[in-house]
């Protein structure tokens, strides 16, 4: 069983889901992205996603696009994800990379898996790669004992839910709604049913992302999902021109609130 799966299962025994936090490498700078990830772990994130900045995003909303633009302008490249993973691995939270697949193809699929594993990474989330077209990545990930996290969405057919559940390792990433990342007033209404359908299709662990930014939303999702994935709500406090220490503290305050929301979801059985 992978470290990611072990973490989710351990938390389940403790009566709670996992808080999974996303931050991009190189934002605002490389060293500050290291500090941000460590700060996120200290504030209660159980699993970390490190995003590779990409110039033509498919899934990223405005907040994350603004951050990755800063990272790209600062010279961040694909190989920096391995430096960041190495700097934060072994701190108590499995570290997953997250990227569209083209950078992996350009880097070399086997070489990417090799370098991610060597850095201490737990696996990779690939939002634009479907299992039917992922044979080369699946083989490389299996060779280096890495998690393969594929996505399902409210539009996914029963056949796609089954093929994604079979191909995934670690967890299945359930997008709560159709669209891009970003903070929303409500979580997608079909998210709970999507989790149930994905489990029925064979997934052992299903975590929900897109739209969660408030403790009440984290509690709502944590009631039925194995993990709550948050990105924009952590990135937003790091934007701006104030002292980085203040921005980092603001991000940690958000993280602590969301971790508390996830933690109380199953103890009360009610959101909020």
Axis-axis angle for helices 30-42, 80-88 (nearest 10): 40
Active-site annotation holder among 9, 42, 60, 197 = 60
Separation of alpha carbons 152 and 176, rounded Å: 9
Is 49 annotated in the active site? Answer: yes
Is 220 annotated in the active site? Answer: no
Cα torsion for 23, 135, 168, 98, to the nearest 10°?
A: 0
Please report which residue ranges of 55-168 form alpha helices under DSSP H.
Answer: 62-73, 80-88, 101-107, 109-119, 135-143, 158-167
Residue written as tokens 């590779």? 52
Strand partners, 207: 173, 227
Active-site annotation holder among 42, 46, 49, 183 = 49
Decide: 95 and 88 in contact? Cβ < 8 Å. yes
Separation of alpha carbons 131 and 138, rounded Å: 8
DSSP state letters, 216-239: HHHHHHHTTSSEEEE-HHHHGGG-
- Among 211, 242, 214, 183, residue whose Cα is nearest residue 63: 183
Sheet holding 147-149, edge to edge: 147-149, 123-125, 95-98, 47-51, 18-24, 227-230, 206-209, 172-175, 151-152
**What are 132's two structure tokens?**
């039917």
Q: Which active-site residues does the annotation give?
A: 49, 60
């Amino acid at each position: 069983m992978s470290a990611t799966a072990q973490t989710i299962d351990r938390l389940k025994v403790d009566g709670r889901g996992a808080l999974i936090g996303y931050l991009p490498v190189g934002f605002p700078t490389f060293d500050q992205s290291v500090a941000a990830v460590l700060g996120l772990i200290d504030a209660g994130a159980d699993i970390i996603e490190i995003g590779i900045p990409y110039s033509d995003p498919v899934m990223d909303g405005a907040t994350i696009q603004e951050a990755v633009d800063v990272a790209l302008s600062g010279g961040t490249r694909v190989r920096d994800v391995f430096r960041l993973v190495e700097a934060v691995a072994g701190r108590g939270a499995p570290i997953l990379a997250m990227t569209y697949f083209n950078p992996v193809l350009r880097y070399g699929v086997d070489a990417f898996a090799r370098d991610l594993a060597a850095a201490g990474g737990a696996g990779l989330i690939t939002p634009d790669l479907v299992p039917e077209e992922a044979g080369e990545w699946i083989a490389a990930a299996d060779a280096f004992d890495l998690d393969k996290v594929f996505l399902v969405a409210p539009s996914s057919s029963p056949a796609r839910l089954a093929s994604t559940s079979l191909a995934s390792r670690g967890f299945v990433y359930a997008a709560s709604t159709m669209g891009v990342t970003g903070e929303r007033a409500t979580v997608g209404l079909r998210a709970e049913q999507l989790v149930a359908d994905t489990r029925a299709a064979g997934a052992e662990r299903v975590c929900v992302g897109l739209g969660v930014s408030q403790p009440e939303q984290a509690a709502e999702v944590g009631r039925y999902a194995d993990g709550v994935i948050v990105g924009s709500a952590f990135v937003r406090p790091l934007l701006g021109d104030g002292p980085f220490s203040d921005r980092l503290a603001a991000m940690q305050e958000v993280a602590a609130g969301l971790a508390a929301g996830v933690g109380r979801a199953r103890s009360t059985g009610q959101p909020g």
